Amino acid sequence: MAAMNLMTVFGGSCPGTSQNIDKINHIMSVEAGKMGVTGAEVHAAMDTFSGMVDMVNALKGANRIALESLFWAYYCIVAVGKSSQAVQVLLKVYEDWGFSEQECITLLENRTGRKLEDL
């Protein structure tokens, strides 16, 4: 639930246009499906965490491959809002989980098939 709630937090960095909300909802629906959780379960768990730090701490020590997979979803949500500050927050979260900035860049490059400098 912490992973899904973090998506909601990152989604809050985006302008609340209906187009942006639709994109974020789609990303979250796909990820929830992968995790086998429903939207109702995600909403019910919102009060489980006292804030973003609590969510981040809940995922410390989580399966590294799962965190790598989640990076793409988080990045896509942040990209909807085109906020460089939100990208920095995402990188800081992943640093807390033991990922270097270069590892995050490599995750993006592997996912997109392009070097970051080309983007």
pTM: 0.90
Find out whether 34 and 3 touch, Cβ atoms under 8 Å. no
60-110 pLDDT, tens digit per residue, is 989 999 999 999 999 999 999 998 899 999 999 999 999 999 999 999 999
Determine what percent of the chain is predicted with pLDDT higher than 70: 97
Alpha carbon of 101 to those of 46, 94, 96: distances in Å? 29, 8, 11
